[in-house]
Homo-oligomer: A and B are copies of this chain.
Amino acid sequence: MGAKSRKKVLEAQTVKYAAIFAALGDPIRLALVNKLSDGTAKSISSLTDGTKVTRQAVTKHLRVLEDAGLVQGSRIGRENLFELDLRPFKDMKDYLKFVSNQWDAALLRLQAFVEDDDE
């Protein structure tokens, strides 16, 4: 065992993953991600178009996404251009895969048990 127990590490991982999921857990933010998924960086004003909220609200949402590492902004002239960062998405995929794998392993164990019971 290292300095941290397995439990602590798992808990830290859980908190990290939860933060990423939470960032996507809002319709407006998910819509922003959709807009940005075409790979091109977009300004705040541009991202506000088509939304039912204020530019300020969108700015706050972008901040949330940025804190979660899902997007990254860079100031160009008078514009603040945001673009997607796919790395956290891979993290989420990995987590979902982990859950599925646990599940599948459980099913296999159950099946083995039942078959064993048949003999």
- CB–CB B96/A92 < 8 A: yes
Number of copies: 2
By a CB distance below 8 angstroms, the chain B residues around A93 are 93, 96
Instruction: Confirm or deny: A31 has a beta carbon within 8 angstroms of a beta carbon on chain B.
Output: yes
Give the residue of B34, B38, B40 whose beta carbon is less than 8 angstroms from that of A14.
B34
| Given the contacts A31-B14, A89-B96, A92-B96, A103 and B26 also touching, CB distance less than 8 Å | no
Interface residues on A, range: 35 or more
Give the residue of B19, B39, B106 whose beta carbon is less than 8 angstroms from that of A40.
B106
Instruction: Confirm or deny: A112 has a beta carbon within 8 angstroms of a beta carbon on chain B.
Output: no
- CB–CB A37/B84 < 8 A: no
- CB–CB A18/B39 < 8 A: no
